[in-house]
Structure 1
Amino acid sequence: MGRTIAIGDIHGGLKALIQLLKKANVTPEDQLIFLGDYVDGWSDSANVVSYLIELAKQNTCVFIRGNHDDLVHRWLKSGEMNEKWLQHGGQSSMDAYRNFTAEEIKLHIGFFQQMLNYYIDNENRLFIHAGFSNQHGPESEYHDTGYYWDRTLWETVLALDPKLDKAHKYYPKRLQIFDEIYIGHTPVIRIDESKPFNKANVWNVDTGAAFTGKLSAIDVSTKEFWQSDPVHLLYEKEKGRN
């Protein structure tokens, strides 16, 4: 058996993804769990999806759905869009698909449709893009959107008193369900961190690849991690996300 590696938000940074997988010396024996947001950011959004489709032919891959993936999926299927999406990376994805054929787009739509809202492995580790709010776990949520839009899980962890015992009645019940939780969605550069960041039993692997940060991957067993160069340096002529 190979390693299980979780990979943070890519946001169209194909050059960073290729560099990262090389740095981590990924082999076909490794299981790769992508935490979502493959698109909306750098100019390679559509190319990232094509690359991942091919990668899944040689590696066991788990593709978690991110909020930006949902938005691009909706646009590809029906043309649905809104101004906020266009301002926050959507325009870059629209531009990236301009030269794709109808057959290629159909293949990509299938890729988006097959994404998972979350994944729980045999070690009771949860992999989810954003979070969940139900105290009984993600399977008890009433709406799918929380899986890829929620920020309350991450905010709860950041505000948590590290001295609070897990058995205390005030300890968040959401954090008692899983041994570990791996998320993306909220870049750790917002709290002045640059590497995969751990608080309580939550690991945030979004290290700001859409902005001025790097793309990161982490071995969930050993906690060894790898990072690309700052992604904006690989796309020097582009602005990335706002």
Structure 2
Amino acid sequence: MGRELVIGDIHGSYKAVKQILERAAVTATDRLIFLGDYVDGWGQSPEVIDYLLQLKSQFDCVFIRGNHDDLLLRWLKTGEYTEEWFNHGGRLTMEHYERLPADKRQLHILFLESLQDYYLDDDNRLFVHAGFTSLNGVKHEFFTRMFFWDRTLWETALCLDKSIGHNDPLYPKRFTHYKEIFIGHTPVTRIGETVPVQKANIWNVDTGAAFKGPLTIMDTGTKEYWQSDPVHELYPDEKGRN
């Protein structure tokens, strides 16, 4: 196998995801791990999912479930939605999906239903959209919605004193189960960054593509990364989720 490449939150930025795959020179020997939130933000959410389905047929792909993906699936299947989702990217996504033929919508429903809660690779690296709360690891998580809603994993990593090592009794037990944990969900732009950020053994790869940041793809082994242009520059006529 070639490289193992992890991709941050896309949020409807079809132009950006194409750009990063080109810049990373992705080949058929690489594994692509997408951390979720494929939709909501920019105006090409259906195009993103069409593209991911195309990639699935050409590459070794892992697709993780994000909270926005779960919200879209709920609306597509039941017509129900929350005002919070509607006001945080859902409205634009709904407008575009209402224009799609029924067979295309059904294909996207099947894709969204197939998403994984998390992925654990052969090197004990965990990939999850948001986090988890069980002290015993993801296989013991009772509240499975935490896989795509939790922020406490990242917040704990941000607060952890650099002097506290892996074997220190104060080191969070959640962190000890995995060699590394790769997440999205909470953009690093909230702490003034636009590149992947490591805290303890947590890597946050959401570099703010839904807002004014770029989309990022990173080699999990070498930590080399490639980024798109700031996504708002690729969609100058749209506001995104700003």
Which TM-score bucket, shorter chain as reference? over 0.9
Partner of 2:66: 66
Q: 4+ residue stretches of structure 1 with deviation over 4 A?
A: none
How far did 1:165 drift? 2.4
Distance 2:87 2:57 in 1: 34
The residue type paired with residue 159 of structure 1 is C
Q: How far has the Cα of 1:63 moved from its partner?
A: 0.3
Task: State the Cα distance separating 1:188 from its structure 2 match.
Answer: 0.3
The equivalent residue for 1:152 is 152
Which is worse superposed, 74-83 or 119-128? 74-83
> Aligned-pair distance for 1:142?
1.0
* Deviation (angstroms), 1:99: 2.0
| Residues matched between the structures, number | 242
Aligned to 2:32: 32
Q: Using the alignment, how far apart are the partners of 2:191 and 2:95 within structure 1?
A: 31
The reply on whether 1:125 has 2:125 as its aligned counterpart is yes
The 2-side partners of 1:46 and 1:145 are apart by 24
Q: Partner of 1:171 in structure 2? A: 171
Matches within 5 A, 1:51-200: 51-200=51-200
- Look up the match of 1:41: 41
Deviations 1:36-89 (A, max 9, x none): 000011000111001100110000100000000000010011111011111000
Gaps of 5+ in 1: none
**Aligned-partner SS, 1:28:** coil
**How many angstroms does 1:164 deviate by?**
1.0
Quote how far apart the aligned CAs of 1:139 are.
1.1
- How far 1:154 moved relative to its partner? 0.1
Once residues 154 and 27 of structure 1 are traced to their aligned partners in structure 2, the CA distance between those partners, rounded to angstroms, is: 31
Counterpart of 2:239? 239
Q: Match for 1:136: what amino acid?
A: N
> Secondary structure in 2 aligned to 1:57?
helix
Q: Distance in 1 between matches of 2:6 and 2:68?
A: 18
How far did 1:96 drift?
A: 1.8
Amino acid paired to 2:21: L
**Over residues 112-149 of structure 1, what are the superposed CA-to-partner deviations in whole Å (9 max), with x where a residue is unaligned?**
00000000000000000000010000111112110000
Give the partner amino acid of 1:82: T
What is the letter of the counterpart of residue 68 of structure 1?
Answer: H
Q: Report the residue type matching 2:80 in the other structure.
A: E
Cα distance in 1 for residues equivalent to 2:198 and 2:170: 20
Distance 2:4 2:164 in 1: 30
Q: Which residue of 1 aligns with 2:6?
A: 6
- Measure how far apart 1:193 and its partner are: 0.8
Which AA in structure 2 matches 1:151? R
Name the counterpart of 1:219: 219
Pairwise CA RMSD of aligned residues? 0.7
Partner SS state of residue 80, structure 2 = coil
Q: Distance in 2 between matches of 1:182 and 1:222?
A: 14
Cα deviation, residue 100, structure 1: 1.0
Distance 1:166 1:58 in 2: 39
Cα separation, 2, equivalents of 1:182 and 1:116: 14
Q: Offset at 1:98?
A: 2.4
